[in-house]
Every structure is written in C-alpha cells, then in structure tokens.
Structure 1
C-alpha cells in the first residue's frame, strides 16, 4: 500500500508542476483558469492542495493551457541519438561542460557539450525520464555530501523545471527533491523547499552548511536531478 500511496503522490506533484508551468506560459492566473473551466476558483486550488480532480476537468484544463494530457511512459518528442548494444536500445545523453557547485556556485560554460554517455532507454523510462529531456553534468564542492560527492555525475531531467509550488507536509518524511539551478547566474545543485509563496529554501545535506533562502524570481531551475553516479576512490 505504501508504494501505491507514493506513486499517487508523485502523480499529483507532476500534475501540479505541469499546470503551474502552463499557467506561466499562458500568462493567466489560477483563478482565471479555474473560472474558465468550472465557473469557480476551486479547480486550481484543489490541484495545488494535492487533491486529485476528475479526468474530464483535467482534460479541459490541459487543453485550455495548451498541454497534452497523457498517461504512460515518458515519450521522446525529439529523441536523443539512438544506438543498439547487444540488441539493447540505448540513448546517447549529452554531458555538458558545466560544473554544478554543491556550494557557493560555479560560473562556467554550461551549454558546451563535451561528450555523450549511453543509457538504456528502458531504464530511463523506469525512472520517469524522457531521453530528449535528459542532460548530464558533474558536481563540485562538498555541501551535498554524503549524498553527492565532488566529481559525481548527475542526470538532470530538464522538463521538470518548475520550483516546488507548495510547502511540504509535516507528514512527508522524504528528503526534499534535488535540483540543478542557476542562482544569480551561478550553476548549483541543492535540495529545494518552498518556504512561502515568494521564497525558496536552498538546502544542503552536509550538516556544516546552513540553509539559504532566495526569492523564487531569483532562481532559475535547470531541471530535477533524477540520478547520480559516484566512483569510490580508495
């Protein structure tokens, strides 16, 4: 039952992310969108509160916001380069020259692709990442240790570029999600939590690094960190 609960929670969070991005792109408020679909302001309020809404209302809302309502494995709208190894389907994921600082921030040429790494498409689908949205970068600094070490490879889903839109429930004991972000132009990797409607908390796993706080408007989300790889150095 626990696995089903978490899966349902993830679906609600993803719906919220898509709706918030759709509202921003269309330039309308949640209240206006709700009235356009159901004639009152409760629809977006329910979605933001994490309540599931009827599929007919959700379909109408997505159409209004110019979004596609689709349930199923992630689909590649612009697939990454395909390759087969021993008959298995792999995607070439670009490794950027960017260093994501688990600390004060790194200034670098983040758009330069320096290499590609092959990932099984079936594995990407299993963790909910479309190959066309996947990017790789390396971490620097120690403020995210012991979770992320200097030099670790990070797999980033650039389609998940909306900040958290509601405070976490006290009953939710999971760590806050990890994001790659630009903080005043510096590339960083941090856990993000919504403090209030205008501010984000940038959280580190290293207990010696205090939390930081930023206005949401000052932080640009690159994407959500979905996986990281660590090489043990003896």
Structure 2
C-alpha cells in the first residue's frame, strides 16, 4: 500500500469511528454519495476535505484528528459548549399519567427521564428534536403493535392520519390507529380486536386532538 493510499485508508477508518459504522457503504450512505467514491479515496489517497468539514460541523470532531490522526479524536470544546453532546440528542420521556388528570401534557414538570438518540440517525430519519417527546404505553388496546410498558417516541410535527397516533380524548392521552374516511370523519381503532372502533364525525372533531404520530418504539422481546 502506497503512502497516499494509506492516508486515504486511515481517514476513512477515522470516519467510521466517528459514525459508528463498519462498512464503506455506510460511510457513503451518510454523505449521500456512491460507494465507489469512498473506494477511490482509499485507492488514490484522496483527502475528502468536504466530507471531513461536514463531520466537523455535524459531530464537532477535530479536523487535525480526522485528517492527520493528531490527538485522540476529541470533540472541539467550543462545539460542545454551543451544542451539548455532539453525538446524541436527548428526547424527554414524560410521566403522562401524572399529567393526564388535569389535561396538561408535556409540561417541564412531568419529565421523568430522557432517551438518547444519535444525531446522525435523527438526520437520516428526517426527525427534529424540538418535535419529539416520548411516553410509555399503558394497557393492551394496541397489542400486536405496541405492548403494555413499551416506550414510544411521538413526532408532534406529523398530525395527518393515517397511522398510529397519540391523541387526546377528554383528559386522557391514548395511542390509537387513525384512518381518515372519505366523508371527512375519523375512524379511531385499536389493533387489539377486543376493542370496538370509534368514529368521530366532522361536526365532533373538537372531541379529539391529534398530538402526533408514533414513530419509534422500544419494548420487551417476547
């Protein structure tokens, strides 16, 4: 391996460390380029300066380390002070049971803990931290899709049915599957066949508030 190809190889390996991936195709996917481009960096010893700058902006990692291997891959201190954790974003997990009684959802006082998500994953999924909240599932009405005790992340920017959504009905927060009907009514149903579906007619839409779409879940493996 020539000195130049060795340089390209080292830079790509450091990129993988930053991104937490193992394959060239994953690096290419992150930057939205063809895998052949990454292969060429390696073979020709090309310095992918634009992509290194992009990682500096996204992750706050030192350019000296990415390009030259100097230092330990530490994150730029100024970047951390401005953005917090350079690799992860915290999504608040709310104790909605405590807030359901008075109808106040997602108040600061009701944050029970936080979930951490990689920033690069959020970017790939088109998610924005300001729109995300997490809650725990209670009950069996969504069995088959969600189980009692599961944690779900809700994207509050997405409120157009169809799909699984968190909704406010009265003072209760529920997770239901919603389907918009051709007559303008809204079908609200559970994935557990034991529960009967409900239909909200156009003149009664004030009875329900769509909080956001359930985008991600975590739970026990049975």
Q: TM-score, normalised by structure 1?
A: 0.51
Matched with 1:47 is none
By how many angstroms is 1:145 displaced? 0.5
1:120 to 113, 118, 121: 118
Q: Distance in 2 between matches of 1:195 and 1:113?
A: 35
Q: Distance in 1 between matches of 2:188 and 2:113?
A: 29
2:164 to 170, 178, 198: 178
Matched with 2:92 is 94
1:145-181 Cα deviation digits (max 9, x unpaired): 01100010010111113x43xxxxxxxxxxx411111
Matched with 1:150 is 148
Report the structure number with the largest CA radius of gyration: 2
Q: Secondary structure at the match of 1:228?
A: strand
1:159 to 157, 164, 176: 157
Instruction: Kindly report which structure 2 residues correspond to 1:181-192, keeping only aligned pairs within 5 A, or say none.
Output: 181-192=167-178
Q: Secondary structure at the match of 1:140?
A: coil
Structure with the larger strand share: 1
Matched with 1:137 is 135
Higher relative contact order (CA 8 A, sep 6+): 1
By how many angstroms is 1:125 displaced? 2.1
Q: Distance in 2 between matches of 1:107 and 1:205?
A: 25
Matched with 2:194 is 208
Q: Distance in 2 between matches of 1:208 and 1:125?
A: 38
Call closer, same or farther: CA 1:126–1:107 in 2, change over 3 Å: farther
Q: Distance in 1 between matches of 2:209 and 2:182?
A: 17
By how many angstroms is 1:196 displaced? 4.0
Matching of residue 195 in structure 1 with residue 181 in structure 2: yes
How well do the aligned residues superpose, as a CA RMSD in angstroms?
Answer: 2.2
Matched with 2:105 is 110
Q: Distance in 2 between matches of 1:118 and 1:144?
A: 25
Instruction: Kindly report which structure 2 residues correspond to 1:5-24, keeping only aligned pairs within 5 A, or say none.
Output: none
Matching of residue 224 in structure 1 with residue 213 in structure 2: yes
Call closer, same or farther: CA 1:198–1:216 in 2, change over 3 Å: farther
> How many residue pairs are counted as aligned between the two chains?
132
Q: Distance in 2 between matches of 1:196 and 1:218?
A: 19
Structure with the larger helix share: 2
Where does the alignment leave 5 or more consecutive residues of structure 2 unmatched?
1-82
